[in-house]
Amino acid sequence: MMNSEGGNEDCLGWAARDASGVLSPYKFSRKAVGNDDVYVKITHCGICYADVVSTRNSFGATNYPVVPGHEIAGIVTKVGSNVQRFNVGDHVGVGTYVNSCRDCRNCNAGLEIQCGKGRVFTYDSVDSDGTITKGGYSTFIVVHHRYCFMIPKSYPLASAAPLLCAGITVYSPMIRHNMNQPGKSLGVIGLGGLGHMAVKFGKAFGLDVTVFSTSISKKDEALNLLGADNFVVSSDQEQMSALAESLDFIIDTASGNHPFDPYMFLLKTCGVLVLVGAPSEIKLSPGSLIGGMRSISGSAAGGTKDTQEMIDLCAEKEIYPNIEVIPIEYANEAFERIINKDVKYRFVIDIENSLK
């Protein structure tokens, strides 16, 4: 329900109009602030690989024009009459979804991302009023307070943005599988936006962290920049064999197709590999599961409870993503660099100072 403050408001963003994925300025309308809504002036928005995929219609379902962006950080400018959790001036984040039924088993458990009736993604998704959602490559967003997260003012908004997807996507399965207990061993496949956050959380939790990569060029940054304990070139069979049955848990962030059996055999008895990347297929031998009672699982972002806990942890422990802040005008070039894996490790758009 909309309140008495008036009608819709024009918003300036950048959008892709077709499968070329090229972004350019775009003006559209946001809904008025309803009684349960928060108006967020966006200061920063992270760039996720999903933004590249959706703008280029990789899955054949994009609704153009599409305004991407689901790693949003900003400042509360208005609140609806029913909102008590936030006040004007608060620093907040908005992540990968902006609506859900709020009444199913998963929503009631704080797992809105798994809403039984279907969560509404932050952009290019059909909202409850029939409109298509538009994301954070824009000057502001209006969202139900349930899907906003408090960011401590001591934590930089630019750093907070990537937490809303890259951060929570690896944090959530780690917590779910009790991988916040010192002394356990963690493997991280891939060292991009998600992988580097998994390393940071692993070290904050007191884990022994091993990074796996296809490229030896990542060794120095894994060990010296991010503080991993070990680095393994995944194609080196001798290095892989030396780690047989040594890991409690593996987070697989790789989106390209790759073999799974070599990693499954690195897990201890009852070890778990969680897939957060998106290869086109998964192939593995039944023996790699049965032999050591191992499991393979999947995970996507996280619920509201985990997300707020993660943000608070990052502020308390001073865990910061490695970011490159860019103006909105650089977004198309940033997309190309993401495709070429030329970013350490997350682009963050300075919306406040470049989108006016």
Q: What is the mean pLDDT of the chain?
A: 94
Residues 6 or more apart in contact with residue 118 via CB below 8 angstroms: 100, 101
Predicted pLDDT at 7: 66
- Token readout for 87 is 């006040």
pLDDT in tens, 79-114: 999 999 999 999 999 999 999 999 999 999 999 999
- Does 2 have pLDDT greater than 80? no
Predicted pLDDT at 256: 85
Predicted pLDDT at 3: 38
pLDDT in tens, 175-220: 999 999 999 999 999 999 999 999 999 999 999 999 999 889 899 9
CA 306 to chain centre: 13
Domains of the chain by range and CATH? 9-162+322-354 (3.90.180.10), 167-298 (3.40.50.720)
CA 269 to chain centre: 30
* 170: amino acid identity, one letter: V
Predicted pLDDT at 59: 86
Distance CA 248, CA 224 (A): 23
Asked whether 52 and 338 are in contact (CB, 8 A), the reply is yes
- Does 4 have pLDDT greater than 50? no
What is the dihedral sign for C-alpha 26, 29, 33, 34?
negative
Residues 6 or more apart in contact with residue 211 via CB below 8 angstroms: 187, 188, 191, 195, 199, 218, 222, 226, 228, 230, 231, 232
pLDDT in tens, 256-291: 889 999 999 999 999 999 999 988 888 889 999 998
What are residue 39's DSSP bridge partners?
78, 142
- Does 5 have pLDDT greater than 60? no
Model pTM score: 0.93
Q: What is the mean pLDDT of residues 235-244?
A: 93
Identify which of 214, 205, 234, 198 has the alpha carbon closest to the alpha carbon of residue 345.
198
What are residue 211's DSSP bridge partners?
188, 231
Q: What is the mean pLDDT of residues 15-20?
A: 96
First to last CA, the chain: 29
pLDDT in tens, 303-348: 999 999 999 999 999 999 999 999 999 999 999 999 998 999 999 9
| Angle between helical axes of 193-204 and 166-176 (0-180°, round to 10) | 50
Identify which of 349, 346, 347, 343 has the alpha carbon closest to the alpha carbon of residue 193.
346
